[in-house]
Amino acid sequence: MYYGVNDVLIFILGLIVGSFSNVCIYRIPRNESIVYPASHCPKCRSNISPKDNIPLLSYILLKGRCRNCKSKISIQYPIVEFLTGLIYLIIYLTYDLSVQTLIYIILSSALIIIAFIDLNEQIVSDVISLPGIVLGLILSFFVSYISFIDSALGVFVGGGIILIIGMGGSVIFKKEAMGGGDVKLAAMIGAFLGWRYIIISLFLGFFLGALVGIFLILSKIKSREDVIPFGPFIVLGSLITLLWGEMIISWYLGF
């Protein structure tokens, strides 16, 4: 497949945003500013120079270690950068140069940040999801691909499904099954994607989460008592739906 200049630029933009996303992933759970101070090594606190802050490339050249203290740099950093660049590119190839592309790449960045914070800290940050719900509802007034009613229904359907399942799970398992953060995350995604897509997103999230959970338990990496964050699976299901939702719906209706 031939990739043009725009494709390369979109991918590079994703790498750059992915680098900033790593800052958010580290600082938001610690209630630190994402703007100040400048990027620095979390171990020795030395500032990272511009030449050591080039997405992907600097990690490779530094062999995954801080230039000053030689401590290991988490593999998460290049993964987030590459993943963001790749998702930006796929969104652009799917929706071309459009307002929908712009909105979806913003949404995808927010989802990636939320997913990795949940993986690291087992929390879904309200700092992103609550403003995201409001933003998704407001944008529905100005775009053609989703109506305000569809967006509002997405909020209630997404948040409602997780809330009901969480309450039922708490009764059955005698412990919290779904956190309030998952409810707000599903509501935010529903605000951007609408009620049909949030249903598909959650179905895929539950399906993928069950597969991974079974694998982790059978391989004895996790036990039945261990908590497996569900936020990343909601995010994964949403990204799949965002990119191939209509294809999934057409495939399902074909049966």
What's the pLDDT at 44?
Answer: 82
Dihedrals phi, psi of 160, to nearest 5 degrees: -65, -40
In the block, tokens 């409810």 appear at 183
Distance from CA of residue 9 to its chain's centroid? 21
Over residues 19-45, the mean pLDDT reads: 88
What's the pLDDT at 51?
Answer: 84
pTM of the model: 0.91
> Is pLDDT of 26 > 90?
yes
Over residues 106-112, the mean pLDDT reads: 97
What's the pLDDT at 176?
Answer: 62
Q: How many residues make up the chain in this entry?
A: 255
For the chain, what is the mean pLDDT? 90
d(CA 248, CA 7): 25
> Is pLDDT of 168 > 90?
no
pLDDT class for 174, splitting at 50, 70, 90?
A: low
pLDDT in tens, 60-69: 988 888 888 8
| Residue 255: CB atoms within 10 Å | 4
Nearest residue to 132 via CA among 198, 194, 190, 91: 190
For residue 119, give Cα distances in angstroms to 19, 87, 112, 183, 195: 18, 19, 11, 17, 26
d(CA 170, CA 184): 18
For residue 214, give Cα distances in angstroms to 128, 162, 210, 218, 225: 30, 20, 6, 6, 13
> Is pLDDT of 20 > 90?
yes
pLDDT in tens, 178-217: 778 999 999 999 999 999 999 999 999 999 999 998 888 8
What's the pLDDT at 73?
Answer: 86
**Position 218: which residue type?**
L
What are the structural domain ranges in the chain? 1-97, 125-255
Over residues 107-116, the mean pLDDT reads: 97
